[in-house]
Amino acid sequence: MIALSLAEITAAVGGKLHLHGPDTPETTVEGVVDTDSRGIGPGGVFVAKPGEVTDGHLFVGKAVDQGAVLALVERVVDEPVTQIVVPDVVVALGELAREAVSRVRASGRLRIVGITGSNGKTTTKNMLAAILREEGETVAPVGSFNNAVGAPLTMLRVTHDTRYLVCEFGADAPGQIARLAGLVSPDVGVVLMVGMAHAGGFGGIDATVRAKSELVSAVRDGGTVVLNADDPRVAGMAPIAEARGLDIRWFGEGGTADVRADGLSVTAAGTDAVVTAGEQSLPLHLQVLGAHHVKNALAAATAAVALGVPLADAVARLETVSLAERWRMQVLGSERVRIINDAYNASPDSMQAALRTLAQITGPDERMVAVLGAMSELGEYAVEEHDKIGLLAVRLRIPRIVVVGQEARALFLAAVAEGSWSDEAVFFADADEAYEYLLGELRDGDRVLVKSSNSAGLRFLGDRLGESFS
């Protein structure tokens, strides 16, 4: 965090200051801000967030041992450290981020990009950060820090030397993107796509569209929105941008896009395409597996061009990205048995894309194996959407479909019904059972996709398989 006095922090978060030791309201704080006491270092600020399992107030002492000089709390804790008491530490964290970013923006050349979408946020964020880091100091989220805690923690990492802040905005309820993006009012807002991810929580696809469009409304006056020309739901957000006089940049595979891709070719070595903007066409080789990641690359390139980066530089830097993120189309194992661990997130759209990628990269003398778990947060749509994935897996002629977990049973039943003349689908109650089965089942030439939502835990199964067949 940039240097702020205790008085300035207290005013920013609307709290009550309780001084300790020699501290005064003018004492300056500029250490790392974190909700995890283990991440605190000398001079740090500990945010004592209450949680479902435990309470951060119980760890203030440990944070002090780690070097914390200030604690944001909801009640005074009997520990030797200055504390600022607020009604809600998560809200206070956001307000502290707002203040820090506002000061950096006012004193320097900071440009801010916000990214949202049902799928692809983290991959696009990493791609864009890879482009922008060559231009100047860039701050981007670690992993998927995109919620009410993670986004402000990322924002608080800016310094007066930061040139670019890339924010990822997720949401599990209407209004969340508006609140998070409203903390920083991005110069550029990127909307990737709208799908069924979280549709259960939002109450349907129309509500999801409205939630994602909150980013367009949050872009600062005179800013730019980057929209997916191939997604009608995203394209339908253009009138919001037009009404505000924002610049609109389109990406996609259609001829109307400002930055578009043609001639896609997917192999086990990556994805090739030709990227065109205006009169300029450039070959692109993405190391990241999957044709769907070309769309993410186009979004990153379009945002970068909007910030003044030459297209040729953006494309060259995209080619250096070897991994979207851990557990996202991560290639493990060996040439003998290749494991593709894509089990950090799953939605109907990303599940379909991953299965199609598996079919595209598997050679004629190799065997496809799909290890599939539940897609979370689909609500009333869960059975229908799992059913569709089971049907797709069989229609893609995947000869071994391993379904794990009771929440994914509908997927298994659909696969059995669609391919009942054979035994391609098997079901296991948990990952340990599936692991023991796969140790004996997998053979030379297998290409194995492990795909599920984070909550299903199959990412760890993918890691175990990757190690076993390395």
Rg (CA), the chain: 24
Burial class from Cβ neighbours inside 10 Å (0-12, 13-18, 19+) for residue 153 reads: buried
Distance CA 70, CA 18 (A): 10
DSSP state of 204: S
In the numeric block, which tokens belong to residue 196? Answer: 């069924």
Nearest to 229 by CA among 207, 206, 262, 258: 258
Distance CA 11, CA 112 (A): 24
**8 Å CB contact between 376 and 197:** no
In the numeric block, which tokens belong to residue 399? Answer: 């000869």
Residue ranges of the alpha helices (H) in 287-418? 292-306, 311-318, 348-361, 382-395, 409-418
Distance CA 238, CA 241 (A): 5
120 labeled binding residue: yes
CB atoms within 10 A of CB 282: 15
118 labeled binding residue: yes
**8 Å CB contact between 367 and 446:** yes
**8 Å CB contact between 347 and 375:** yes
241 sits in which H/E element: helix 238-243
Report which residue type is found at 129: A
* Secondary structure of residue 18 in the 3-state scheme: strand
Burial class from Cβ neighbours inside 10 Å (0-12, 13-18, 19+) for residue 193 reads: buried
Distance CA 156, CA 142 (A): 13
Residue ranges of the alpha helices (H) in 396-456? 409-418, 431-441
**8 Å CB contact between 158 and 2:** yes
Between the alpha carbon of residue 425 and those of residues 78, 403, 411, the distances in Å are 58, 7, 10
Distance CA 64, CA 70 (A): 8
Distance CA 291, CA 354 (A): 9
Terminal Cα distance for the chain, rounded: 41
117 labeled binding residue: yes
Q: Which bin fits 453, alpha (ψ -120 to 50), beta or left (φ > 0)?
A: beta
Annotated binding residues for ATP: 117-123
Which residues make up each annotated binding site? 117-123
